[in-house]
Amino acid sequence: MSEQDPAAEALLARWSVLVPDAPEVGRGLVGRYAEPHRRYHDLRHLAEVLDRIDRLAAYADDADAVRLAAWFHDAIYDPHRADNEEESARLAAELLPVGGVPSSRVAAVARLVRLTASHDPGAGDADGAVLSDADLGVLAERPERYAEYVADVRAEYAHVDDEAFRRGRAEVLERLLAYDELFHTPLGRTTWEARARHNLRAELLLLRS
């Protein structure tokens, strides 16, 4: 996807508000999210996460740190690897100082990026709660969007045979359903929790049929 693509241009405009002195970093991130192997963890996903953060911003302590973490949380994404979050956090720590982001906020962003490996913010971690809810918000989408998400995740794991994928995906769904709460903000708990659990249970039922 080129920078002239409307989705990319809209994202670059959002980046320029956050880090006006490093447009090249924003362009590089847009390029990463437009990599051809991405089907779900792409520009659309980034835009949707940022949109949800805007909805949840009142719950955050530092909403702009959460927005920056969203930009970096899937900056490195390779479905063959298990260290994408760690490498993405390191990339944030490397690139954000280029734009003059203070070291304290850089550290906060890197911490939040690492948190997306578990989506399990601690008690009182307002920023972690907002980022986790924004990232998992797709689970509570309408059935059509949820089905697209599932199909796109499968496409990203095209190198995995059907039986292994079904087994691994079922384990992911079971782990999510075992959480006492999928969402940690008031809006997430009251608006998204029930819908997400319905979608997860429905998908798990299909996998087992």
77-95 pLDDT, tens digit per residue, is: 999 999 999 999 999 999 9
Where in the sequence is the domain holding 48, given as residue range(s)?
6-208
Rg (CA), the chain: 17
Q: Does residue 175 fall inside a structural domain?
A: yes
User: In this structure, are residues 171 and 128 in contact, taking their beta carbons and an 8 Å threshold?
Assistant: no
Q: Does residue 1 fall inside a structural domain?
A: no
Domains in the chain, number: 1
| Side chain identity at residue 81, one-letter code | R
Once rounded to an integer, what is the mean pLDDT over residues 142-171? 98
CATH code, domain with 202: 1.10.1300.10
pLDDT over threshold 90, residue 3: no
pLDDT over threshold 80, residue 100: yes
User: In this structure, are residues 127 and 66 in contact, taking their beta carbons and an 8 Å threshold?
Assistant: yes
Once rounded to an integer, what is the mean pLDDT over residues 7-23? 98
Q: Give CA–CA dist 51/42, Å, rounded.
A: 14
